[in-house]
Amino acid sequence: MKGMSLIVKSITNVVIGFIFIYGIYIILHGHLTPGGGFAGGVILAGAFILRIIAFGADAKGEDRSSLTASVFESVGGLLFLGVALAGMAITGIFFLNFLPKGVPLALSSAGIIPICNIAIGIKVSAGLFSIFLAIAAVKSGIED
């Protein structure tokens, strides 16, 4: 996939960090404010896709990103399942919220929910990004 003009590249350089931080904020505050793992993960995937659309990538780079994305997709899924199985190992109930609940409205509260949000965020961002890469890569494969 080819990159776009200098204007798009400069603006992308400025805003991409803010988009990334906003996505991470939405994931980490998922148990306090509207949002959560899915919404934040989609925002992170949007940042990755913006990067690829603006700057472009050759076939080699797309393959490398695709591999990384699939690894992170699996890591996210396994982390989510691992939290569920940890609840089963410690208390005997699948998906039981076994961590201490903490003070309501504090960032580190609500037991396993922040960990689950992080896992889902990793999984969703990597999954959507690899869907985009698959569509972009098959097109550039035809052009080669």
Partner 1 sequence: MIELYLFLVFMIVAAIIATEIKDLLAAVISLGAVGFSVAIMFILVQAPDLAIVQIVVEVLTVVIFVAVILRSTHIDETVGKKIAGTQITAVVLFSVFAFLFLFAMFKAIQELPAFGNATMRIAKEYIRLGLTQVGGANMVANVILDYRALDTLGEATVLFTSVIGVVALMRKSGRKK
Taking the complex as a whole, how short is the minimal distance between the CB of residue 6 and partner 1, in angstroms?
19
Q: What's the alpha-carbon Rg for the chain, to the nearest Å?
A: 18
Among 27, 31, 121, 125, binds partner 1 (CB under 8 A): 31
**Pick 14 or 138: Cβ nearer partner 1:** 138
121 binds partner 1 (CB under 8 A): no
Site map (CB under 8 A) of partner 1, residues 82-101, x = contact: --x---------xx-x---x
3-state secondary structure of 22: helix
Cα separation, 45 vs 75, in Å, equals 16
60 binds partner 1 (CB under 8 A): no
34 binds partner 1 (CB under 8 A): yes
Q: How far is CA 7 from the centre of its chain?
A: 27
113 binds partner 1 (CB under 8 A): yes
95: alpha, beta or left, given left = phi > 0 and alpha = psi -120 to 50? left
Taking the complex as a whole, how short is the minimal distance between the CB of residue 14 and partner 1, in angstroms?
18
Give the CB-side neighbour count of residue 24, counting CA atoms within 13 A: 5
